[in-house]
Structures are given as structure tokens and as C-alpha cells.
Amino acid sequence: MKNRILDKIKNYNNIAIVGFGKEGKSTYKFIRSKLKDIKLTIIDKVNAYDMMGELNNDRNVDVIYGDDYLNDLERFDLIFKSPGVSFKELDRDGLSKKITSQMEMVLGEVRDRVIGVTGSKGKSTTSSLIHHLIKCQGKKTLLVGNIGVPVFDEVDNYTEDTIIVMEMSCNQLEFVDVSPHIGVIVNIFQDHLDTIGTLDRYERAKMNMFLYQKDSDYGIYDKDNATTNRRISEMDIKSSLFNVSLTDKADCYLDNEMIYLDGEEIVNKNDIKRNILGDHNLKNIMIALKVIKLLDFDVSKAISDIESFYGLEHRMEKVGVFKGITFFNDTIATIPEATMLACRTITDLDTLIFGGQDRGIDYSDFVKYLNESNIKNFICMPTTGYKLSELLDNKKHNIYKIDSLEEAVKVAYDVTEEGKSCLLSPAAASYEAFKNFEEKGKKYKEYIDLYK
């Protein structure tokens, strides 16, 4: 497969790699592994020579950087777009046929062995769980994509019997013209409007998971999610679709605590030994079991294998109990819906730390939920936390406006009742003060340890 992809790439004379972070560097190394003399242009806001020293020895590379780094992309024949780069201000229609990605290149070769997973929230947990359950079946599987593993990095490990689980973000799906054999849309909420531009564009990108599927393909989605249902009703989808619900009859649904799959009782939800909490994760489990059934694997074994899945760091992660307070780290929750789910899951929640970058998301439902909740302490951090603090009921709740995460943890130790819980769940992006949500989560845990 690697040689087939490289054979396609070498047919282009003018190739750009836009964005030189983890995926951009991976693309460069992949191309240079065989194509030493092909001309490449690396485009990033930051000087790529400063990010990878070996570029100085590459006579066939040009570097473009600076504030106007995205100008003049039209002159390139092939553009590898990294998912972290926003094209929202550009003429996408004029560029779309030139834009590709690692994900699209690999899908073009092995789509029949790919399970794609997207969603506003829960896609990392769901894709990781699917990968875990397939591996427990004794099958060869790889987990790549938005989970943090560039698709090209594992290309040498792809074999004819490998099942590839690919986590896909909206930015990775936006320009594709191929969909995976099994596609999963966990949910769709407002997110990433700062990079993709509009809500309509965001939703359409997500729906590319199903758009290019064939009659022989399968799609799985959340019947309880209004946006996904609306978008499906507007599309001409060729694949066989299956839905999952906690509240209504579906292909996989919950009724009187019993999970039904394709009309048959499979397990009481209370009999599933699981380490990922909350109804939202129960739905993720049901989606994964439907995938296992579509693959014609052992569903009973998969149910027992759920017990050995411990979830992911920064996703409703129990940090520990210190000074009688249970601390949870949920920095992956960058939209209000995710934070509300976390708050509902932790029944003894006494303190919520939230706030981050303002990306133009509607917080009206979030404010209503917080004001009606029994959470005693709200620790509000810039920028969204400061804005929302003015809308919170300071007679019912204690409101603290805190500048730094370290100070937020110190306050949490002081105000959280012993025997109860403190949750960091930003309901916003972390980019204002941190590199990403992972850095924020790690710092949070460091401060918890520092003041315990």
C-alpha cells in the first residue's frame, strides 16, 4: 500500500504540506522515505526550518511562513492539509479538488477494512473501545488518526488482515471524497466553529462519514441526537444505517435496563463491568457492540472484555482522593454538552472548574443547567468562565473568578466539602493558556499533587 500511495504522489509536480506539526512532519518523512528528489513546499505560520533541523539538508524543499502563509495556495497541484490548520477564510471551492490528507490517501487504498469514528464528543473513547474489543477477539487491529497517531506512521504495519480503526475529526473529514466501510457518528453538537467557520460547514463535514459510502457499507449513529437525525433525513445515503438509543426503540436500545441488539436481549446494563462511567459511555459501549456484531465477532466475549477497558487520560479521569476530596480530570470536555454529561455522572459533585477560549459557542443551555444544579462551587476561569460568571446565580452558588489553574486547584481544596468531588471540565478549548487539553490536564494533576 505504501508504494501505491507514493506512486500517486510522485505524479504531481508542485506539492505543498500545509501545517508542520505532528502530522505535517509525518507527511514529510513518509514522502521522503522513497521520493528523495520530488519538490516539496512546507507552509506554516512558524518557520519550518526551526521545527525540523534536517530540512536544512534538503535541497528540494522550500519553506513559506509568516502571517500570510496561506496566500497563493492555488498555484499548487496537491495540498496535504494538516487538520490543525484553518481554511475558513479561503475560497474552499477553488481549492477542494487539490486538497488531500494522510487519512484520505489511506482510505483510498484500504477503505473496506476501515472503521471510521467521528463525533463532537466521545469519538476518542468510542474508537479506543472498538479497537480494544477487536484486539481482545484475537484480531490484528490498529488505532490511528485524530487519536494522536498520524495515519502514515503505521502504514508499514498495514496487512491484508488488519482492521483499521480511524478516529476522524471534522477538519479531517471536510475535504474527503471517500468514506470508510463502517462509519460511526457518535453525536453532533456545536464545536470547532473557530477553525471550520460555520455550524453548517461543521455538520456537513461530519456527515462525510456516510456521504460516500456504498450499498455494501454500514453506518451507525445516535438516534437520540437531533442534529444527526436531521442531517441524515436531508441526505441520499446508500449504506445500511443502524441507530442506537437510550430512550427509544432502535437497532440497539435500552429498555428497563436491558440492552437489545437487533431485536434480541444481550445483557442487563448493570451486569456490564465497566470503568467508564455515565449514560453517554453506556451509549458508546452499545455502539461498539453493534460494530462487533457487524464484524461477525463474538458479542458475548466483547461484553466481558469491556471490563478490561479503562478509558482514556483526561476523559472523566479519576485522579484520586486527596484530603477527602475526589478529583476528576475531564479537560477533553471542550463543549458545554460534554461538561453537562460529566456533571450528571458525578453524583456527589461539589465543585466545578470551567472556562477557556471563547469560540463563539452558545452557552445559554449550559448556564441554565448550572443555575438549576446543586453544585455548590463554580470556579470560573478566563475567558468563557469570566463571561458566564456574570450569568450565574450567586445566591444559590459560590462563584469564584480565578486567573490561573494552579490557583483554581488551591481554591478547590479550600472550598470543596470533604467526602465530595471536584471536577475540571472546561466546556471550552484550552488554547488560550495551554498548548492543548492534554497539557492542561497534566498541569491540573500536577497541582493536585502539589497541594494535597
Mean pLDDT, the chain cut into blocks of 10 residues (452 residues total)? 95 95 96 96 95 93 94 94 85 84 96 96 94 98 94 94 96 94 94 72 94 98 96 97 97 97 97 92 97 98 96 90 97 92 94 94 95 98 96 97 97 98 96 89 97 93
Question: Residue 448 in contact with residue 320, Cβ under 8 Å?
Answer: yes
Question: Residue 451 in contact with residue 413, Cβ under 8 Å?
Answer: yes
Give domain 104-308's CATH number out of 3.40.1190.10, 1.10.730.10, 3.30.590.10, 3.40.50.1370: 3.40.1190.10
Domain limits, CATH 3.40.50.720, in the chain: 2-100
Residues in the chain, total? 452
Question: pTM of this prediction?
Answer: 0.84
Identity of residue 417: E
Domain limits, CATH 3.90.190.20, in the chain: 317-450
pLDDT for 278 equals: 87
Kindly indicate whether the domain formed by 2-100 is annotated with CATH number 3.40.50.720. yes
Question: Residue 297 in contact with residue 290, Cβ under 8 Å?
Answer: no
- Placement of cell 519553506 in the chain: 63
Q: Tell me the CATH class for 317-450.
A: alpha beta
pLDDT for 379 equals: 98
pLDDT for 235 equals: 96
Pairing of strands 218-222, 182-185: parallel
